[in-house]
């Protein structure tokens, strides 16, 4: 019987690729990357592809890669543990100030964001900087420091990265902080970020080690960014430990930013309110051990969210587009996964070439956000139609809440 919700791509000498992409465009370059990944000898059963799929570095963004006895560091990438956090509040639309610019300004002051100055982030209390670290940063780092010291003893070059300094910071690119309204007019806070500079350093270091291993052992690959680390080797063990730590950092980073976001809103909205009602904190760039089809396997989600039966997740749209709080259906064929967003349809360079400031202003009408040339690459038209993406994965998740942003802070 023909499956009506996903297509299967098969290649010679490769595992099947199951794609929940009906009704959304998939670039030929993404299909080639998927085919190359499916040729790797340690792929377990098949590769699952989400409807926000688009070309990435080595492995395709929007793919779920189950492996036995090996891990591909570039498939996890350098934005390790990148993900979303959302929290419903007891506020309603009527409680928001008429001047949303004041609210946006308070959030921008509370959460370091962007790339200028270069060291954008916190410093120790005695060092001084444009932001002094709040107690929440110290508390979070205190839970991570001992394990980080063990990791650095094995990989000393990681010690001098932006680790403590980037705790509680947003970054740039597609990372954001938003104030949203759901279908009932309830106010939600939502943010998107990961493990920042230290995660980037960990990913970059182990991607290069994997490539060195391939050269040492004369391993031929369909794509050099599919270089892998084999289970039982020191590099594999070190990577699994470091990537697991980076994922903890990313989750705590979002928690700290959420605390600072809530505190910032309280300086503008004096009405008492509660938060963390239906709070969700989920990764979408990560690897972890899971059990599927009777086997314990490593599952790499590169731009995908865990969607086990009953599990809550977040699928954001782009600036100006709707976002969704979803509940997983536990579809085993997708390795219990769903998409992590809308997915880009063009590069950042192409978006800047094609669209104008006037286009951006129209696309983000009604949203208090940056309207300058520095964010044109994040214009909604650079992304896939979120409604088509949601329809293509209707057997993977169900929508619990639909959110529309009214304030958006970008790095």
pLDDT tens track for 294-320: 999 999 999 999 999 999 999 998 887
Q: Which of 340, 360, 391, 401 is catalytic?
A: 340
What's the CATH fold of domain 7-345+383-410? Answer: tRNA-splicing ligase RtcB (3.90.1860)
Q: In this structure, is the dihedral angle defined by the CA atoms of residues 14, 16, 20 and 25, taken in order, positive or negative?
A: positive
pLDDT tens track for 225-277: 999 999 999 999 999 999 999 999 999 999 999 999 999 999 999 999 999 87
The pTM assigned to this predicted structure is: 0.93
Please enumerate in sequence order all residues whose Cβ is within 8 A of that of 57, keeping only pairs 6 or more positions apart, or say none: 74, 77, 225
The DSSP code for 127 is T
pLDDT confidence tier of residue 17, bands split at 50, 70 and 90 = very high
SS (H, E, C) 225-275: HHCCEECCCHHHHHHHHHHHHHHHHHHHHHHHHHHHHHHHHHHHCCCCCCC
Residue 209 in this model has a pLDDT that exceeds 90? yes
When mean pLDDT is compared across 23-37, 123-137, 174-188, 303-317, the lowest value belongs to 123-137
pLDDT score at 122: 62
Q: Are the beta carbons of 332 and 303 closer than 8 angstroms? A: no
Q: Are the beta carbons of 408 and 371 closer than 8 angstroms? A: no
Please indicate whether residue 235 is annotated as part of the active site.
no
Report the pLDDT averaged over residues 336-362: 92
- Angle subtended at Cα 50 by Cα 49 and Cα 51, rounded to the nearest 5 degrees: 125
pLDDT score at 135: 83
When mean pLDDT is compared across 61-70, 254-263, 374-383, the lowest value belongs to 374-383
Q: Are the beta carbons of 144 and 255 closer than 8 angstroms? A: no
- Give the SS3 label for residue 119: coil
Euclidean distance between CA atoms 232 and 174, whole angstroms: 36
Q: In this structure, is the dihedral angle defined by the CA atoms of residues 73, 193, 396 and 87, taken in order, positive or negative?
A: positive
Euclidean distance between CA atoms 77 and 292, whole angstroms: 23
Residue 4 in this model has a pLDDT that exceeds 80? no
Residue 335 in this model has a pLDDT that exceeds 80? yes
pLDDT score at 321: 85
pLDDT score at 133: 67
pLDDT score at 331: 97
pLDDT score at 380: 87
pLDDT score at 1: 38
CA dihedral 327, 406, 265, 166 (to 10 degrees): 70
pLDDT score at 193: 96
pLDDT score at 125: 44
pLDDT tens track for 80-139: 999 999 999 999 999 999 999 999 999 999 999 876 544 466 655 444 444 666 788 889
Look at phi and psi of residue 214 and say left if phi exceeds 0, alpha if psi is from -120 to 50, else beta: alpha
Percent over 70 (pLDDT), the chain: 94
Euclidean distance between CA atoms 87 and 23, whole angstroms: 31
Euclidean distance between CA atoms 220 and 212, whole angstroms: 12
């Amino acid at each position: 019987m023909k499956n009506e919700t996903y297509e299967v791509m098969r290649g010679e000498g490769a595992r099947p690729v199951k794609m929940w992409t009906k009704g959304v465009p998939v670039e030929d370059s993404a299909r080639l990357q998927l085919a190359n990944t499916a040729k790797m000898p340690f792929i377990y059963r098949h590769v699952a592809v989400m409807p926000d799929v688009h070309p990435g570095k080595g492995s395709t963004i929007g793919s779920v890669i189950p492996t036995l006895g090996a891990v591909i560091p570039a498939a996890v990438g350098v934005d390790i543990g990148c993900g979303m956090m959302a929290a419903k509040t007891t506020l309603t639309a009527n409680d928001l100030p008429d001047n949303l610019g004041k609210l946006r300004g308070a959030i921008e002051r509370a959460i370091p964001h962007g790339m200028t100055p270069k060291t954008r982030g916190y410093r120790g209390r005695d060092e001084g900087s444009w932001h002094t670290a709040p107690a929440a940063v110290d508390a979070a780092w205190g839970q991570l420091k001992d394990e980080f010291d063990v990791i650095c003893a094995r990989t000393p070059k990681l010690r001098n990265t932006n680790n403590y300094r980037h705790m509680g910071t947003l970054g740039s690119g597609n990372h954001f902080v938003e104030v949203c309204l759901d279908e009932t007019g309830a106010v939600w806070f939502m943010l998107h970020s990961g493990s920042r500079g230290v995660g980037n350093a960990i990913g970059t270091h182990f991607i290069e080690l994997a490539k060195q291993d391939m050269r040492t052992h004369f391993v031929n690959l369909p794509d050099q960014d599919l270089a892998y680390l084999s289970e039982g080797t020191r590099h594999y063990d070190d990577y699994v430990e470091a990537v697991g730590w980076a994922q903890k950092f990313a989750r705590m980073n979002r928690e700290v930013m959420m605390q600072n976001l809530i505190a910032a809103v309280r300086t503008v909205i004096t009405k008492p309110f509660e938060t963390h009602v239906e709070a969700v904190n989920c990764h979408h760039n990560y690897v972890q051990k899971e059990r599927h089809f009777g086997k314990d396997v490593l599952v790499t989600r590169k731009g995908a969210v865990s969607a086990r039966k009953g599990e809550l997740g977040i699928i954001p749209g782009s600036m100006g587009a709707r976002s969704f709080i979803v509940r997983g259906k536990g579809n085993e064929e997708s390795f219990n996964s769903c998409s992590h967003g809308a997915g880009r349809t063009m590069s950042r360079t192409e978006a800047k070439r094609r669209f104008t400031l006037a286009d951006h202003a129209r696309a983000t009408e009604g949203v208090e956000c940056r309207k300058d040339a520095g964010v044109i690459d994040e214009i909604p038209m650079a992304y896939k139609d979120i409604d088509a993406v949601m329809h293509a994965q209707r057997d993977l998740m169900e929508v619990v809440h639909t959110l529309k942003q009214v304030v958006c802070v970008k790095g």
